[in-house]
Structures are given as C-alpha cells and as structure tokens.
C-alpha cells in the first residue's frame, strides 16, 4: 500500500530551494552553520511578522503559497524544538528580571505548537491540527500521522511539514553537547572530515499530500523508524523494510543523511552496504544537521524524481545514532 501522493512542495533551506531552485550553486556554510535563505515575506502582515520567531516565520513562508492555492483538511507539523529562541528569550527575562513583570509574547510564541496553530490562523483551518516533537523522528511521526489520516479519510488533503531553526541558544546547548565540529569545516568538505560533530542546519519543507494520483509529483511508498544504537539491529530492520517493499532491485538511489560526524558514519556505511550497487547521494552538506532534516531529504527526493529518470529513492537518516528512519519515495506510475 502506498502511503500518499505528494503534490505541491515548498522548501526554505540554506540552499536556493525556494524562489528560484538551483542546487548546483551550493551555498557555503559560515562558522559551521548553514542558515536558511529566507524569502520575502510580503504576504505576512507586518504586525504579525514582527512577533514571529524564526521557526514560525520559516514555516509561514513555506506554507503560505500552499495555503493560498489549496484547501486542506488539516495541518500536521514535525518540529523538535519549535521556537526555542523565543523560549530562551522568555527564560532570560525570568532570570534577568527576577520573575518581575514580563511580556508574554515570547512565551506564547515559544510553545512548539505555535507553528501549526499559526498556519491554522492564517487559513482559518478548523480541521485536524497536530504537532509532533519527537526529536529526530518528529517529522517521521508527522508523516505517519498524515498517512493514517489519509487511510481513514482517503478523499482528504493535508498540509504536512517539518521545521526547525538554528538559534544562538540552541547552538550553545548543542555545542556543549558536542553536536557540532569544534574546528571550522566548510559544508563542501563535510564528508572528508574525520572528527566528531556536524555543522548546524535549519529549514522548513512543506508538502501537500493526499491519495490522488493525478498531478502528483511523487509517491511516498513506505516509512519505517527505529530507536536503536545497535548496527546489526538496524541492518536487520532495513533488510526487512526493503523486502517488504519490493526488494532492492528497484531502488536506484540511496539518499543518505551522512553528516560528517565520525561517530555516526558506521551506521550510514552499514546501511549503504546493504545496497552495495546502488548510487549514493548525500544531503546534509546542503541543509546541515537538525532534527527534522529528513523533511529536506523528502523534498530533495521529490525534486530528483521530478527532474531525472530516477524511479525509486531510499532515504536513510539517523539522529545522534539513536533514532533511525527510512523513507521510500517513488515516481508516479
């Protein structure tokens, strides 16, 4: 059973993916960060725009073109952190002003569901509205949610998205945790790096998804996810995922979430070895590392399928070597 068809997509990323799409002109990272190239946000009322944190802004910028042209039965967002910047701004107020009189704007914007609810307000969408925040599998759970809804309501169309932001605070916390490289590495050199850590990324990808084949860009055939740090278990899972979904003979691209972190490379290599003769492409040098980077990968897979002769792409991503996911994307037959 196919999960759903993907129709229109919009992606705001550190690369030229939004207003004009040009992935050959790779934009370079600065200070180990790949920051999103933001579009002009003319469609957002200025008073509203001023209050938006970056995650809400990126999601609004990516979703508005879709919300303005299509009608959706609901909105499903995956975001690990939502507006963490607003959250820490409010936290800093609490500490710096010793719990005095505080302004609530940052507090209201800091709730992770601020993204999905803002999109509902924009479009007066009173339908299903959900926010999945399960770290490196936040987007995958949003995908599964959409797939279940479309199984329950095959005539519906949903807005599905993944978004996360780099903020100074998030960067500080992740740096202390060893998530980013301590030496300067350019994204174009990411896969040559032998050290631990990756480079920070951010972005938002939005998808209009339904069960209608006509006019679709691609089809999401299957998704699987696993919590494990055991290579053998992951390989076993991948092998059975491939077998259940038509075998490896059909797969003509392995889109890998390799992120230049020596600690997690073995997982990517091991999965690659399951598909030894299949061309490899990587995407983290384009979007950087963040918990919902797999939403960028899904967008990229849709573009590859649209603009090449590729028929089936397997996306593999892992987050911190513990949360693993596989998505099988096919052309529309």
Q: How far is the CB of 177 from another protein (least distance, A)?
A: 4
Q: How far is the CB of 52 from another protein (least distance, A)?
A: 11
Pick 37 or 108: Cβ nearer another protein: 108
Q: How far is the CB of 187 from another protein (least distance, A)?
A: 24
Under the rule (CB under 8 A), what is the footprint of another protein? 74-75, 80-82, 87-88, 90-95, 98-99, 101-104, 107-114, 116-118, 120-121, 123-138, 141, 144-145, 148, 151-152, 169-170, 172-177, 225-228, 291
Pick 11 or 44: Cβ nearer another protein: 44
Q: How far is the CB of 333 from another protein (least distance, A)?
A: 24
| Cβ proximity of 13 and 21 under 8 Å | no
- Mention every residue, 6+ apart, whose C-beta is less than 8 A from residue 98: none
CA distance 108 to 101: 15
CA distance 136 to 229: 14
Pick 90 or 296: Cβ nearer another protein: 90
Structure tokens that stand for 33 in this block: 């960060």
Pick 132 or 284: Cβ nearer another protein: 132
Q: How far is the CB of 240 from another protein (least distance, A)?
A: 10
Pick 17 or 167: Cβ nearer another protein: 167
CA distance 241 to 271: 12
For CA atoms 118, 142, 87, 43, give the dihedral sign: negative
Q: How far is the CB of 115 from another protein (least distance, A)?
A: 9
Q: How far is the CB of 120 from another protein (least distance, A)?
A: 4
Pick 125 or 193: Cβ nearer another protein: 125
Pick 103 or 308: Cβ nearer another protein: 103
CA distance 194 to 262: 6
CA distance 247 to 306: 22
């Amino acid at each position: 059973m196919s999960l759903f068809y993907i129709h229109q997509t919009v992606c705001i990323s550190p690369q030229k993916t939004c207003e004009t799409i040009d992935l050959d002109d790779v934009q370079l990272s600065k200070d180990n960060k790949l920051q999103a190239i933001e579009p002009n946000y003319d469609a957002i009322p200025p008073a509203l725009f001023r209050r938006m944190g970056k995650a809400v802004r990126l999601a609004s910028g990516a979703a508005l073109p879709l919300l303005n042209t299509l009608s959706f039965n609901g909105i499903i967002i995956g975001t690990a952190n939502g507006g963490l910047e607003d959250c820490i701004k409010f936290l800093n107020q609490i500490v710096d002003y010793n719990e005095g009189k505080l302004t609530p704007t940052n507090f209201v914007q800091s709730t992770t569901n601020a993204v999905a609810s803002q999109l509902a307000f924009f479009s007066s969408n009173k339908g299903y509205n959900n926010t999945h925040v399960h770290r490196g599998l936040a987007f995958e759970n949003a995908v599964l949610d959409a797939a279940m809804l479309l199984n329950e309501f095959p005539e519906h169309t949903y807005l599905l998205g993944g978004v996360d932001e780099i903020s100074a605070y998030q960067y500080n916390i992740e740096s202390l945790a060893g998530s980013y490289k301590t030496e300067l590495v350019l994204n174009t050199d990411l896969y040559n790096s032998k050290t631990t850590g990756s480079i920070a990324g951010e972005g938002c990808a939005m998808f209009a998804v339904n069960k209608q084949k006509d006019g679709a860009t691609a089809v999401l055939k299957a998704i699987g996810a696993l919590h494990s740090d055991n290579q053998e278990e992951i390989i076993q899972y991948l092998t059975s995922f491939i077998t259940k979904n038509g075998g490896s003979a059909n797969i003509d691209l392995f889109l890998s979430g390799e992120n230049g972190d020596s600690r997690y490379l073995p997982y990517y290599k091991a999965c690659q070895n399951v598909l030894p003769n299949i061309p490899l492409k990587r995407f983290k040098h384009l979007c950087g590392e963040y918990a919902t980077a797999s939403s960028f990968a899904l967008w990229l897979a849709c573009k590859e399928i649209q603009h090449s002769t590729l028929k089936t792409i397997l996306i593999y991503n892992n987050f911190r070597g513990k949360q693993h996911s596989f998505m099988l994307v096919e052309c529309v037959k």
